[in-house]
Chains A and B, each alone.
Chain A
């Protein structure tokens, strides 16, 4: 099967090292994962995220539909506000995590994971039947570029007419980048300040506008980054990767996403009954962060053991943190091991490597790295 291409494919093919990522031809790195990772923590990097799903939800019942679909509450959202949430199966299992942006009460943009594009759209469509809402998948008509890092504002500003610093965290604004109409949301998947820029009216067949924005961002000093750095950055920030850390067998209460579940909001939402039961009975396991105290790199599916060397869980995401230069991991462990400082072991091939449970959202010191860092 031929790989799908994104709007920015032409640039990637010329400059990047390409892989098959969920059916899309995507760059893992251009110059190197560590350099790209550092560029985002220290300055500004850009990522093509056009493989993600983007759907407009429009019509008089849009808010009622969304509140039925997702666990979070859209009622308090102001126009041009964004909201992170999950949507669940009736069992409480996570269908996907997503971000909604409100433009008017009758017009929302829904952004979700690349690997779930078909599944999510079908799921939304199927559950929208009783509502007056129209769903339009524009993933192939709108490109998406993430501009991330402490210098993201400064970089994007160089090629934008409007004052981008006025777009607040998790808000979205209409801007003109390189003369092209875009939406810019102050969001991202790296832990850093930055934007996710939606290049409007840039169809896959004629992606000139998206390529122009990308090239101009590079010209403005942004470092092109591949999926490798995207993964190491999100892991350091402790952000969930669908398919690794969350899936339909995991519910938001055990995933550390309790804050996205609003049991008291108006109306019923899919999974509410199951989640209430889970809440009342209490979860059995929870997602924790592990930092190794010895050399080694924990990776997806490696066993986690307690100090008595009994298996207590598996690593869902792991890697070497380029910022901290130690192995870090996410894993589901029984509640009694969730306390910070609890010693654990990770089986790396034949070795049991010592580590401990640490604060993981994010793993790094927030006064030094990330969007909350102390401004100089």
Chain B
């Protein structure tokens, strides 16, 4: 069942189905993954984190809502929010269409990137994790 979901190599994943992508210079893009968007189906609203907000790894940074359900989003890394994807306010369906691309949610200036990434799963581990669900 879980084979149908796309897991990109090179990204880091949480058990709550968020992803993190290293952009260089301590900057990390975050979003929700293909599995999460597939489970939610039809996303109609995204609550973005506030600019400049200080977030901790695993701390709530927003929410993604489908017609029927609300899913809280937790930050895969700790740091400061330096950019949010405002295009999602008008087109939240981009998360369904392209969860790892145009559906990115925020960019975070990570405060202790290496330590945080060690606590996340790489693509291989995450694929195994999805199979266990």
Chain A residues in contact with chain B, CB under 8 A? 17, 28-29, 32-34, 228, 232, 295-297, 299, 319-320, 322, 348-349, 351
Contact = CB atoms under 8 A, between A and B. Distances in A.
B95 to A, nearest CB: 15
Contacts of A29: 41
Interface of B: 41-42, 44-45, 47, 63, 65, 67-68, 70, 89
A282 B14 CA distance: 54
B45 A297 contact: yes
A319 B67 contact: yes
Contacts, number: 34
Contact of A228 (B65, B67, B89): B67
B45 A320 contact: yes
B45 A295 contact: yes
Given A297-B65, A319-B67, A320-B67, A34 B45 contact: no
A283 to B, nearest CB: 32
Nearest to B72: A349
A34 B67 contact: yes
B113 to A, nearest CB: 27
A28 B68 contact: yes
Contact of B47 (A33, A34, A349): A349
Contacts of A17: 41
Interface of A is mostly: mixed
Contacts of B44: 34, 297, 320
A126 to B, nearest CB: 36
Contact of A34 (B42, B63, B65): B42
17 contacts: A17-B41, A28-B68, A29-B41, A32-B41, A32-B42, A33-B41, A33-B42, A33-B68, A34-B67, A228-B67, A228-B68, A295-B45, A297-B44, A297-B45, A320-B65, A322-B67, A349-B47
What 8 A-B pairs come out closest when comparing CB atoms? A33-B67, A320-B44, A297-B45, A297-B65, A32-B42, A228-B68, A34-B42, A33-B42
B68 A296 contact: no
Nearest to A229: B67
A169 B74 CA distance: 50
A17 B40 CA distance: 12
Contacts of B67: 33-34, 228, 232, 319-320, 322
A32 B89 CA distance: 20
Contacts of B45: 295-297, 320
A7 B65 CA distance: 32
A348 B67 CA distance: 15
B57 to A, nearest CB: 19
Contacts of B63: 349
Which residue of A228, A297, A299, A322 has the most chain B CB atoms within 10 A of its CB atom? Answer: A297
A319 B68 CA distance: 8
A297 B42 CA distance: 14
A33 B41 CA distance: 9
A228 B89 CA distance: 23
A41 to B, nearest CB: 15
Given A297-B45, A297-B70, A320-B65, 4 more contacts: A34-B44, A320-B44, A322-B67, A349-B47
Contacts of B42: 32-34
A295 B41 CA distance: 20
A296 B44 CA distance: 10
Nearest to B65: A297
Contacts of B41: 17, 29, 32-33
A349 B61 CA distance: 11
A32 to B, nearest CB: 6
B47 to A, nearest CB: 7
A348 B63 CA distance: 10
A320 B68 CA distance: 9
